[in-house]
Structure 1
Amino acid sequence: MQTPPLPRPSDNPRHQQVHEAVRALVREQGVQISMDAVAARAGCSKQTLYARYGSKQALLLQVLSDDGNNRATLAGTPDAATLRPRLAAFARDHLARLSQPDTIGTARLVTAQATQFPDEVRALFDTCVGGLQERLAHWLQQAMRRGLLRHDDPHFAAELLLGMIVGLDFDRQRFMFPHRDTAAQQADWADFAVDSFLRAFAPPASRA
């Protein structure tokens, strides 16, 4: 008898087991995971996975999308009182996540598989990095419309800010070089990056 499909709600225990299985396997194997391995790790049948998610690519993208939505975010509408504090909190959270051993380990593994699995790796970049840039650009655009930042391309501004936040630290980790691995060091750099960005994008009236 065929196993019934998994329920849709994301808080369903089996759904969470499947997602945790995918996350663990990606950390261990990169994007070359199989549905057999996911089923074995999650304690369900492969038929259930195909009935519920359709394909390995669809399942992988769903997990990555959920993870991307849970990454560093900027809540609320920016105003003069919240602009800098929220950007600084975002920067600190982003740096902390990038400094986690699982993050850099997965990045190394996935980068090594880019030529073998180009579609999966591009989808991962688009979902994780592109999604983060899009959400940040939307928030910065609101700040620009409110006159808190000078008007410019919000996607360019988001990319620039993300680059300033990360600096060389992710590369230092990739090459096993000492990096900012304490909350205090990350906070100092996050504040420096955000303050530099705000000076560069200060509205014209603030420059007088």
Structure 2
Amino acid sequence: MREQKPAVEFDTVPLSKREQILAAAREEFLEYGYAATTMDAVAARAGVSKATIYAHFENKQTLFGAMITNRCEQSFDKLPVPRGDARSLRTELHALGLMMIRLIYAPEAIALYRVVIAESARQPELGEIFHVSGPARAMASLTAYFQKLKDKGLLAIPDARLTAEMFVGMLKGQDYMRRLLNMEEGGCRPEDLVEAAVETLLRAYALQAEEV
């Protein structure tokens, strides 16, 4: 029999009902997976009624998508804004790379990705919800960032979207797959991947290489 989880405790700033539900849903999905998570369990953990959940979210799929979107928005509202200074470009790209590494390699992100992979064969729509709510939104934010670098004349990139995908791809070394498979870490350090990705980007597209 499934153990009844206590309601989530919230400290410091009180959360809205919607935020309480999203926080509880995240814990349920990560702990039990998508299929085994029920709206009753989320309601109990959030300390609200099931009717309150349905007042905010149409169904479990909608709740799952909203939870992913919420985490994505919290992460990418800290995306650096290009300052238009070629001399600071390397530092800004390095900070961006470190931020992306922390997001990509976060234990919660890895665990959530495992949940989606485990369920998507039986429920392909879940993979679509995850992609649209998370990775696609993240890629849109990165694309906009690189487009700004191009518009400011800092990088001579032919395609902002392609550059964003290339940058993320360079940050995903073999350790990313090892972590997904719950193996011991090995290979390149994440920090080394950031250095290599930034250096590659600047060598390929910097307009004022001597200043960056």
TM over 0.5, shorter chain: yes
Structure 1 stretches of 5 or more lacking a match?
1-10
Structure 2 stretches of 5 or more lacking a match?
1-13
Aligned residue number for residue 8 of structure 2: none
Q: Answer with 154-163 or 63-72: which moved more.
A: 63-72
**Counterpart amino acid of residue 20 in structure 2:** Q
**Deviation of 1:101 (Å):** 2.6
The alignment's TM-score, normalised by the length of structure 1, stands at: 0.82
**Counterpart amino acid of residue 190 in structure 2:** Q
In the comparison of the two structures, how many residue pairs are matched?
195
Contact 2:171 2:190 in 1 (8 A): no
Percent sequence identity is 28
Aligned residue number for residue 11 of structure 2: none
1:28 and 2:34 correspond: no
Whole-angstrom CA distance in 1 between matches of 2:150 and 2:115: 38
1:199 and 2:203 correspond: yes
1:183-198 alignment, distance < 5 Å: 185-198=189-202
CA offsets per residue over residues 140-181 of structure 1, 9 Å max, x none? 011111211113111111000000012222112123343369
Aligned residue number for residue 163 of structure 2: 157
For residue 82 of structure 2, the aligned residue among 59, 77, 80 is: 77
1:1-208 alignment, distance < 5 Å: 12-32=15-35, 33-72=37-76, 73-79=78-84, 80-179=86-185, 185-203=189-207, 206=209
**Counterpart amino acid of residue 158 in structure 1:** A
Contact 1:74 1:86 in 2 (8 A): no
CA offsets per residue over residues 23-64 of structure 1, 9 Å max, x none? 101212333332122112111111111112233222222221
Change (3 A) 1:190 1:12: same
Contact 1:114 1:121 in 2 (8 A): yes
Aligned residue number for residue 6 of structure 2: none
SS in 2 for 1:15: helix
